[in-house]
Every structure is written in structure tokens, then in C-alpha cells.
Amino acid sequence: MTEDLSSTIHRLFIVLYALAIAMSIFVSVSSAIVTDYWREDIGGCILYANLQAPKRNSNGSEWTMHGSDISVCNYVTFVPVFLIFIALVCIVFHLRSLFCQRCWRAEEGKSDFWDIILRVIIALSGIMTFLALVLACIVTHGHDITCYGLRNYVNEQGMSPWMGISEAQIHDLFSRLDCGFFYSALDFGLQIGGNQDKGVIDSNAALEVALTTGWFQFFFWLGITLANTWLAHRLKVDLIKPLPDFSAMFAK
């Protein structure tokens, strides 16, 4: 690898990791806001939450909302922090290689240096890609399950004809509304239910941000993994053979 090519590659990877960090921050912050907002009121996570009808032998007549295990939201909130840490470690390595020319020349003379670095980075990138994929699937599926429960709740309510619109037409109208309407109604219901001091957030918008950036985050890590694999192929690095002794990296 020439010094000019190495410098260009380091800069490209720094940009990729920086973008991945930005995506992770969006996911983590959005998830944290929604989790903190709903944790106490539904006893868990808003993702995969469900509405339960009043029990027959119960004196209450209101439906109640129950959140899923809080670990679901914690995964979405804190896994991006781990992704940020790994990306920062990789950025530090690339910055060191980019600006420390003396280090670059010394390392270039070690036969196994790039083999070790690339195989470790590819392994880490693959793990990060898998974690990001699981996160994106959890947010997408959990968001849809909660929306589906809210939609079913509305459909099961008896509605009186209004202004010439039949009950069937009203149900059909509600079935055409997107998830944003139901989450907004949920936010408004919490606000008028005695929690005015908490303020109002747009739960659907926050979850949509986490959902969208979660998928972008996955594709960025997938791209990083493929880019590192391409680099390994260009440098003719054998990705199958076992890693050598890491002390070789620091041998004088």
C-alpha cells in the first residue's frame, strides 16, 4: 500500500465512522426520551406495549396499557453507546495512522501489522453490524406492534353514527389513519390524565427518528464491514487463518 493510498483510505474510514457515530447518537437520544417519558406510566417499554380490556370480575371499566420489559428499550438506548465507543476506537487508530507518519512507516515494515488490524476491525465491524440489525428490527417491529394494539383498541370501541357517517364508515376511517395519529392520541391522553407536569412529546416522531436512523446505522456498519473486507482483499490479507500473537504489533 502506498503512502498516498493509505492516507486517502484513512480519511474515508474516519468519515464513515463519524457518520455512524452521528446515527448512533440520534438513535440513543430518541429512544432515551421516549423510554423516560413512558416508563412509569405503563410500567415498561413503549415498544411492544399492549392494551388490555378490563377483566370481567373487575370493578374498573377502562382499558389499561402495559409496556413490555424495560430491557427492550434499554437495548435500543444503550447498544448505540457501545457502537459509538467502537467507532471512536477505530477513529483514533485511523487518526494516528493518518497524522503520525513516523508510526506509519514503522508499522509498514512489520509483515503482520495490517493483517492483524484488518482482521480485528472486520470482526468488530461484523459484530456491530449484527447488533445494529437487531436494534433496527426491534424498533420497527415494536413500533408496529404498539400501533397495531392501539388501532385494535379503537376498532373494538362502539361508535355512534355522526353527521351522516355510519359506524362502519367511522371504523373504516380509523383503519386508514397512520400510526402517528394513534401515538399522538396516546400522548394527549397521558397529558390530560393527570401528568401535565411532564410536558408533551411526540412519541411517534421520536420513535420514527430512532427507527429511520437505526436502519441507516445498520447500513453504515454494513458498508464499513464491506469496505474493510474489500481493503483486506486488496492487501491480500488471509481472513481465514488464526490471528497471530498480538504482541507482534508492538514488537520493536
Question: Do the Cβ atoms of 26 and 213 come closer than 8 Å?
Answer: yes
Task: Classify residue 248 by its DSSP letter.
Answer: G
Neighbour-count burial of 62, counting CB atoms closer than 10 A to its CB (0-12 exposed, 13-18 middle, 19+ buried): exposed
pLDDT at position 79 is 95
Which has the closest alpha carbon to 122: 212, 29, 28, 225? 225
Q: Would you put residue 52 in left (φ > 0), alpha (ψ -120 to 50) or beta? A: beta
- pLDDT at residue 151 in the model: 76
Residue 117: what pLDDT?
A: 77
Closest CA relative to residue 28, chosen from 97, 101, 79: 79
Instruction: Give the pLDDT means over successive 10-residue stretches in the chain (252 positions).
Output: 64 91 94 88 86 57 76 94 93 78 55 72 92 96 86 64 56 63 67 54 86 94 90 71 52 50
| pLDDT given for residue 60 in this prediction | 47
Q: How far apart are CA 6 and CA 105, in angstroms?
A: 11
In this prediction, residue 187 carries a pLDDT of: 65
Pairwise CA distance, residues 79 & 229, whole Å: 24
Interatomic CA distance for residues 204 and 211, integer angstroms: 10
Q: Say what the pLDDT of residue 198 is.
A: 60
